[in-house]
Amino acid sequence: MKSFIELPKKALQKANICVQEAVEDADLTIVNTAISVAPQYDYVRVVGEDIDLLVLLTALAS
């Protein structure tokens, strides 16, 4: 599985796109990243199908 992730990760990094690989809970990584970059942008969108994203955003973005 690790090699499957490495290919797109390297391609994105080569295109100067910041890539973060979640060790365990991707939802928490997604939300923490969105919160940390929010001051740098007018809008930050988190797109997903998992209700945990909404719960974490509501709890942590205060």
Distance CA 43, CA 41 (A): 5
- Start-to-end CA span in the chain (Å): 36
User: Do residues 46 and 26 lie in contact, with contact meaning Cβ atoms separated by under 8 Å?
Assistant: no
Q: Which tokens belong to 46? A: 């988190």
**How do residues 5-60 score in pLDDT, each as one tens digit?**
889 999 999 999 988 888 888 999 999 999 999 999 999 999 888 899 999 999 99
pTM of the model: 0.73
DSSP string, the chain: -HHHHHHHHHHHHHTT------SS-HHHHHHHHHHHHGGGSS------S-HHHHHHHHHH--
